Amino acid sequence: MIDLTSPDYYINRELSLLAFNERVLAQAEDPDTPPLERLRFLCIVSSNLDEFFEIRMAGLKEHIKLNGALTAPDGMLPKQTYRLVAKQAHRLVDRQYRLFNETLLDALAAQDIRFLRRTDWTPAQQEWVRAYFFREVIPVLTPIGLDPAHPFPRVLNKSLNFAVSLEGNDAFGRKSGTAIVQAPRALPRVIRVPDEIAGCEYGFVFLSSVLHAHVGELFAGMRVLGCYQFRVTRNSDLFVDEEEVKNLRLALQGELPHRHFGDAVRLEVADNCPAGLAAFLLGQFGLEPDDLYQVNGPVNLVRLMQVPEWVDRPALKFPLFVPRQPAAVAKQRSMFQAIARRDVLVHHPFESFQPVIDFIQEAADDPHVVAIKQTVYRTGPESTLMEALIAAAERGKDVTVVVELLARFDEEANINWAARLEQAGAHVVYGVVGYKTHAKMALVVRREGERLRRYVHLGTGNYHPRTTKLYTDFGLFTCNEALCADAHDVFSQLTGLGQAGRLAFLWQSPFTLHRRLMEAIQREIEHAQAGRPARIIAKMNSLLEPQIIRSLYRASQTGVPIDLIVRGACALRPGIPGVSDNIRVRSVVGRFLEHTRIFHFANGGEDDVYLSSADWMDRNFFRRIELCFPVIDPRLKRRVINEGLKPYLRDNTQAWAMTASGGYERCAPGRRKAFCAQDHLLNRLAMALPKPQR
């Protein structure tokens, strides 16, 4: 009897997350990726690593500090995990900077886009930088010499700082060997130089180069021996005592400022920083040598994310496209008419997000609409949808908004929207303390003749107009009475009190989703044993929950073919003889962030298809409020399979196949025709624009 709980059958979550970022970095390394998009992918890796350290590595450090002996399903203790992850993270960062210095800078320079090195500045460039320093930089700098009256300053999370080594005495006769210069966040980290000065179409200098060149101006009469940039990353998980809190919004507002000064988890320094100074900085932040990352270049590559936006060279970016308006909507005068006719499926970003905006705006304007209810997880600081809800409330409609205040790194924006909604007269609730509201749903109640009719939008992604252009997601509009009644009941749970009722169609976390998925997998096992059609295809961002993994292993042992399309972390090992022979795992990393959650069960030939806001993770099943909803219309069911699953199983250019060891191998066309799922969907669903000229 095989023990399916054995650590040999599970992959470490943190190592799997780093492996995902290696696949993202491979996009930046790929010479077939347009040059400015290569730079963008490089920045995305840095942004992902920032969050990885702020949350995952910070959590590991907390476990180690508490002497945590808790092991993960892979069998590793926190200390073991930390050592392995730190080693892999160092390799990944080194690979990033090698790519930046040895490949990308030359590739961009070949296109007349240059980052001007301080050692190569012409006299005209030196003069321009000097003028910029005195005009824009020195007025906002406050150098701090370290002595008994000036202790080491508080350093903001992820801020740019400089450690300056000095020689000599100052005006007061003080002799301090070190000063700290903090770059205010108001200063741009990358500065465009005028074309006539740069000598190229797009020339940029780093703020760090500007300060390095003129740091001596801050310390009159003293000699600068060295100037070294550094950056510290801190624990950014917010703590709110759920048992003590009386008002979640006020508690969170009080906690947000502390995010900038949480415990340090990583120190990045320039690679020319002397060992003694690096050790001094580690000591100031309470860090160990493994926490030190010495880099050859800017300590914050994320700031280069702006460069592709600034450079108006479409030929160096992915081809432009216009999301198509879904035919089911385009042919109708109103969203309500379209939905009343039949269910409407929208596939973003290939199809426009505008129908979702129209749905809420039309509801806000329509005198027959009496109530609007919506969940809000991520919307951003500017949102047409939120403005429409505010307008609806101001017009006297009954507007209820469930705002998740603990949506990581969007807390401040959500607090601001909550305040504005309340001022407009909307009912604002913050879900259920202890459970993040991650479900994506909007419910509109409209009076039609003698009755009230409900319309619902359910989605796999956030109500965020910007990310809908970058993430792949499905949205479903329906006025199916049973589905609408289920959505109404979920809203009642979130805003009121009482026991969870029985839902007709929706599977809901934390109550039924995990159990229903386990039952669906078990049903496939029974079909396979009886010789009936059995198969599982599931697409998600992460697969980590051990019970689900064990169920998938059992299904594989019974002969159920299983295809898993898991973009990010995956703890399941495919292809283990006798355990997961029938399981294949692949990850697709391309132009768009794969974000759809699709679960397809053959069910003896019924072909059940579900869309969901939830990944297969512990938190999504047991600590969040999530929804999983069926696609009932056979026509739309075929669409989900043909657009959301089959192309990704066929992809042989942007797909990575997972091996039994937990590694990934990039799929290659070989003798077959090259096929990219995202390009296929763009060609099929979106409208291409003419190819840009240089």
Annotated catalytic residue within 347, 438, 514, 595? 438
Could you tell me which of 423, 380, 377, 403 has the C-alpha nearest to residue 494?
403
Mean pLDDT of 167-176: 65
Residue 566 is predicted with a pLDDT of 98
Mean pLDDT of 603-628: 97
Could you tell me which of 390, 610, 573, 355 has the C-alpha nearest to residue 463?
355
Q: Which of 297-301, 376-380, 521-525 bottoms out in mean pLDDT, i.e. has the lowest? A: 376-380
In this predicted structure, the answer to whether residue 495 has a pLDDT above a threshold of 90 is no
Residue 531 is predicted with a pLDDT of 96
Mean pLDDT of 646-673: 96
- Per-residue pLDDT band for 430 (boundaries 50, 70, 90) equals confident
Q: How far, in Å, are 111, 130, 226 from residue 165 at the CA level? A: 38, 21, 5
On average, the pLDDT of the chain sits at 91
In this predicted structure, the answer to whether residue 256 has a pLDDT above a threshold of 50 is no
Residue 409 is predicted with a pLDDT of 57
How wide is the angle at C-alpha 96 spanned by C-alphas 90 and 101, nearest 5°? 125
Q: Residue 357 in 3-state DSSP?
A: helix
Provide the β-strand partners of residue 115. 204
Could you tell me which of 185, 270, 190 has the C-alpha nearest to residue 230?
270
In this predicted structure, the answer to whether residue 493 has a pLDDT above a threshold of 50 is yes
How many helices (H) and strands (E) the chain has is answered by 23, 29
Distance of CA 327 to the CA centre of its chain: 30
Q: Residue 182 in 3-state DSSP?
A: strand
Which domains, from first to last, does the chain contain? 7-316 (3.30.1840.10), 321-504 (3.30.870.10), 508-688 (3.30.870.10)
- Per-residue pLDDT band for 334 (boundaries 50, 70, 90) equals very high
Mean pLDDT of 74-91: 94
Mean pLDDT of 66-76: 79
Residue 252 is predicted with a pLDDT of 46
Residue 260 is a catalytic residue: no
Residue 66 is predicted with a pLDDT of 80
Chain segment 285-296, per-residue pLDDT in tens = 999 999 999 999
Mean pLDDT of 474-501: 91
- Per-residue pLDDT band for 149 (boundaries 50, 70, 90) equals low
Residue 254 is predicted with a pLDDT of 47
- Provide the H-helix boundaries in 537-633: 546-558, 618-622
In this predicted structure, the answer to whether residue 277 has a pLDDT above a threshold of 50 is yes
What crossing angle do the helices spanning 35-51 and 78-99 adopt, rounded to 10°? Answer: 160
In this predicted structure, the answer to whether residue 318 has a pLDDT above a threshold of 90 is yes
Residue 71 is predicted with a pLDDT of 73
Residue 544 sits at φ, ψ, to 5 deg, of: -135, -20
